[in-house]
Chain A
Amino acid sequence: MTGQATSQAWSSHEGAAALAAPTSTEKRRAFDWRLLLGFFLPVAIALLWEAAVTLGLAEGRLVPPPSRIIAMLWGLAQTGELWTHAWMTLWRVLVGFVIGALSGIVLGALSGSSQTLRQLLDPTLQALRAIPSIAWVPLFILWLGIFEASKVALIAVGVFFPVYLGIAGAILSVDRKLVEVGHVFRLSRVQLARRILLPAVLPEAVIALRSGLGLGFMFVVAAEFMGASEGLGYLLVDGQQMGKPDQILAAIIAFALLGKTADSLLVAATKPLVRWQDTVRERL
């Protein structure tokens, strides 16, 4: 978007920033309250359970109190195990996500922008989508072995479909009226794609990538269940086999933190691209 870049040099955004400032702080203050309210229930339950176990009202062997989970997390972090496992999981998700998202973007863009290609690609992809992704596992293991390749493939498949559907749908739903503005100014096909279609699909593309990432984290668990010696999913299986519910819960918390962090990073990285949007985003 060179047009924007060059003109930003001289068009002042300060006025807009100054006008937007009070509303955004107001929003933040209101949001803080809701955030605190959201913490109330889990914290209250955790404290109650902790008290119940401390007072001997409950045994807490199968449902360990928060202190034991935190101690387990702390221990895993101290030995460095937590980081190895978390990093392994993250790496698998990232590789699978990149492969799945890139192919989803490319195929989605193709099928969204050309009727012929859509009629060629879409039926097959929709048929494949009807297969529960986990059902591919045995085949992937036969084809790619039980190590990384089959795990990454499963994650990539999980990421691919939401991204493909999101991108194709976003392109198809671009407002004809805005495209006509491009026609009136006689934009070439490439210019039209760059100056109108791309910015118009960005918000939905971000949403598609986020759901892709979410599914990536879902499938990494499945992938790590099918035989891994490292990864947070391995910690889950190990905790079950060794009868260590605190380890399972510690791994679950690590999963939640990792997934949330990855999602927030994705949102933060794409925020400048969709800053102009004033809808949905806040609600997601």
Chain B
Amino acid sequence: MLSFEHLAKTYADGTRALSDINLTVHEGEIVALIGGSGCGKTTLLRLIAGLDRESAGRIRLDGEVLSGPHPAVGIVFQEPRLLPWLSVADNIAFGLDGFSTAEKKARVTHALEKVGLVEHAGRWPRDLSGGQQQRVSIARAFVTNPKVLLLDEPFSALDAFTRASLHEHLLGLWEETRPTVVLVTHDVQEAVTLADRAIVMQPKPGRIFDELPLTLARPRDRTGLPFETSVRRVLTALDHSLKAPQQQPQRERDRQAAALWW
């Protein structure tokens, strides 16, 4: 269980990127963070990953307060960030330093199969397409079996087709160990395809505006009516968050409406 308690981040220049974030993410849950540009989504992920320090409040993972990078937390950045001097296989094995060669090989081979890049194992990152590079970076994060996986708009640079196939790769990997996933996205369809819950954020200072449960059964049918309805609900919430920056969230009413709908 991942929980944020009164989490706040003010940058050195005085930018209040996050203020008073309170949220609990259950084990194995996939949570999508959506919100306009600059509302602190990346900042939140960087705090969880231990790449930045919070100004106030704390983050707990199963009760343990996180301070700095944690072995059970993996991250996929917006760019693939592969090490150009390592082959695809070696990039995936980057975080497996403590393991035996046989174990490394087994895990990397499995991850390569899962993301469909077996025949590219020995190539340099520079020889891969953008989508393939992003798959390598997802595999690199999964191969250490993290309990919490953070994804910062990992598919935003890709076309719709590639994105849909990467969603499947991602869910395939997630099915295996069911890590807790925090996914930042601008794409409402993506959020509804992947997440159990959408968290809508608001900027200046960055805070949570609304939460919407997405309880559709998996695998999700992107053409069905329930999918469409969920997309519309998230869009509406997003719209409110952008239009009325100071407006109080209508969480209760939305939830009742949702309950009625189901």
Contact = CB atoms under 8 A, between A and B. Distances in A.
B120 A181 contact: no
B205 interface: no
B126 interface: yes
14 contacts: A11-B88, A11-B89, A14-B122, A15-B121, A16-B127, A180-B77, A180-B81, A183-B51, A184-B69, A184-B73, A185-B69, A185-B94, A185-B95, A199-B85
A180 B68 CA distance: 12
B97 interface: yes
A11 B83 CA distance: 16
Contacts of B73: 184
Contacts of B55: none
Nearest 10 A-B pairs (CB), nearest first? A11-B89, A13-B122, A199-B85, A276-B85, A185-B95, A16-B123, A12-B122, A16-B122, A278-B126, A7-B90
B147 interface: no
A13 B87 contact: yes
A132 interface: no
Interface residues of B, number: 36
B121 A11 contact: yes
A181 B81 contact: yes
A183 B75 CA distance: 11
A196 B83 contact: yes
A272 to B, nearest CB: 11
Nearest to B124: A276
Interface of B: 49-51, 68-69, 71, 73-75, 77, 79, 81, 83-90, 93-95, 97, 101, 104-105, 108, 119-124, 126-127
Contact of B120 (A15, A184, A191): A15
A195 B73 CA distance: 20
A186 B71 contact: yes
Interface range on chain A (Cβ under 8 Å from partner): 20 to 34
A19 B84 contact: no
Contacts of B88: 11
A178 interface: yes
Contacts of A241: none
A195 B93 CA distance: 13
Contact of A3 (B74, B75, B77, B90): B90
Given A184-B51, A276-B124, A177 B81 contact: yes
Contact of A7 (B71, B85, B104, B127): B104
Contacts of A181: 81, 83, 94
Contacts of B94: 3, 181, 185, 195
B239 to A, nearest CB: 33
Contacts of B77: 177, 180
A191 B94 CA distance: 12
Tell which of B49, B88, B93 has the most Cβ of chain A within 10 Å: B93
B92 to A, nearest CB: 10
Given A184-B69, A199-B83, A15 B122 contact: yes
